[in-house]
Amino acid sequence: MLLECDRISKRFGGVHAVAEVDLAIAAGQVFGLIGPNGAGKTTLVNLISGHLRVDGGAIRFDGADVTRLAPHELTARGIARTFQGVRLFKGLSVLENVLVGRHVRMRSDALRRLWPRGVPDRLDRERAAQLLERLGLTRPHALAGGLAYGDQRRLEIARALASEPRLLILDEPAAGMNPAESARLRDLMRALVAEDLTIVLIEHDVRLVMDTCERVAVLNFGRKIAEGTPAEIQASATVREAYLGAEDVA
Amino acid sequence: MDALAEFFRVYQTTIGVIGINALLALSIWITLYAGQLTLGNAAFMAIGAYGAALLGMRAGVPLPLGLALGALLSAALALPLGLAVFRLRGVYLAIATIGFGEVVRVVLLTLPFTGKALGLNGIPPITELWHIYLSLAVVAYMLWRIQGSTVGRALAAIREDEMAAASQGIRVRRYKLAAFVAGAAIAAWAGGLSAHLNFSIEPGDFGFTRAVQILVFAVVGGTPSVAGPIFGATLLTALPEILRPLKEYRDIFAGLILMGVIIYLPRGLVTLAELRKTRRLQEIGAADVA
């Protein structure tokens, strides 16, 4: 298993945002994480990526205990993520955003740059340009904050991929995308998985989840209420109840 | 040629002060570039000024060594201070560093060897203009090169979005601390130069007013680039001289100019250059620059 969560919990005051959630995600697949709004999906992602500390339970990545590691340490180990609602460095250029994403894979070149003729990051810039091309971003020197929303989402994915992760967590990547963009995102995820990346996909676009995920876990009120293949999840009465309310179940 | 020599003779002090103020503006620029508002640079300047002056007067330490030791002492104090205050953000961070400035001022007023409220007098005026401008050139060049490096990008990323920066693997606290310590060293170096430019220093020279003045240099000049703080310090230091014909009204006009810049060019005077570029690009139909 690449990522294992062992009964992890997080409380905010009296609210159990995440309650004793178990997850076991094997390498080389898209793993879906769905649930109604407020189910605790984003809190779970913040726990896995180190932005929040768990109150209880343990997280293992690639066999090692990473429960208490900070975000920057997890990025160095190969966990990258995007944010719900996009958090780009808006005042930096598109290319600079991706270069910042490569931070953990670059040696500091501050001292070498003091020598006037040094261009120490040429290879990194080439890598970044390749990523931009792959994501269909054509204006490397435009300010990130000035991009259309769909482009901002793709740039955030490019930035996350720049750290050469083994696990990529996408928090609602298709929000704000039109159907064509969403289809391209699906193709991209499939191609990345074929290159041995593992993806955790949080998404409300049911179609996208069903099309890409091998397994899906469902959260409701902080608890995992179901896990299985997309077909099993679609057939589950428990899941339908969570989304629609009990009285609507036929 | 004679006119130029005469100009330099008359305005020698002002030219020196401009260079020192430009160094001070660069010292706060580093933390501003990382999005952190700290106001301790007047205190760091004081540490460098008293350090270099005392070492020179009492121990006969040569100027470069005195400047270096002052900068080192300042950096050594900035390190634990930074560890403590970078738990804070925004206004709280600013206030905590103002508090540090007050502590330094009071310490200088009470220590047995700093001359209390009278300060130090009879400091040998051995700072030459080329000392100041060589320092400025070296500091500006280093900051300009670092701005385009992994370190510069990390600082900019922290300014733009701290959480996203941490998520890219940037050690946010460590970078903030490094920026703060580097700024403290530069401010102290400038302080040492200024102590040996004048005959005397006193604790009142390095109080809250000075702290705000340093901030204003950097903000009015503009923080996007290294040129901004240098430009801002130059203009604001020269302004009283330029406005001298206005006699008793000159402070009013200096204040109005300051307000005008902040209202119409909130990102600083250097944005004037960008505005011209944008306009030219719009004229030739390249509307893509946004």
Q: Is A250 a domain residue? A: no
Q: Is A226 a domain residue? A: no
Q: How does residue B284 score in pLDDT terms, banded at 50, 70 and 90?
A: low
Question: How far apart are the CA of A66 and the nearest CA of chain B, in angstroms?
Answer: 15
Q: Is A118 a domain residue? A: yes
**ipTM of the assembly?**
0.92
| Helices B172-195 and B41-59, axial angle in degrees (round to 10) | 50
- Averages of pLDDT over runs of 10 residues in chain A (250 residues) are 96 94 96 92 96 96 96 97 95 97 91 78 92 95 94 96 97 90 94 97 91 95 95 90 64
**AA identity, residue B244:** R
Q: Is A46 a domain residue? A: no
Shortest CB distance from B167 goes to which of A75, A92, A139? A75
Q: Report residue B201 as tokens.
A: 């220093």
* Mutation target vs A (from B149, B176, B281; most A CBs, 10 A cutoff): B149
Question: Above 60 in pLDDT, residue B79?
Answer: yes
Shortest CB distance from B150 goes to which of A72, A88, A106? A106
Contact B84, B186 (CB under 8 A): no
Residues of B in contact with A76 (CB under 8 A): 169
Q: Report residue A59 as tokens.
A: 């997280």
SS3 at position A9: strand
Q: Do A113 and B148 touch (CB under 8 A)?
A: yes
> How many Cβ atoms are within 10 Å of B185's Cβ, its own excluded?
24
* pLDDT at site B241: 86
Provide φ and ψ at A221, rounded to 5°: 45, 40
* pLDDT at site A8: 97
Q: Is A68 a domain residue? A: no
Residue carrying the six token digits 């999906």:
A41
Question: How far apart are the CA of B165 and the nearest CA of chain A, in angstroms?
Answer: 8
- Which residue range(s) make up the domain with A109? 88-164
Residues of A in contact with B139 (CB under 8 A): none
Q: Give the Cα separation of B200 and B117 in Å (integer).
A: 12
Q: Is A234 a domain residue? A: no
- pTM for the full model? 0.92
Q: Do B170 and A100 touch (CB under 8 A)?
A: yes
Number of domains in chain A: 1
Residues of A in contact with B156 (CB under 8 A): 89, 91-92, 96, 100
Q: Give the Cα separation of A52 and A69 in Å (integer).
A: 10
Q: Do A72 and B151 touch (CB under 8 A)?
A: no
Question: Above 60 in pLDDT, residue B192?
Answer: yes
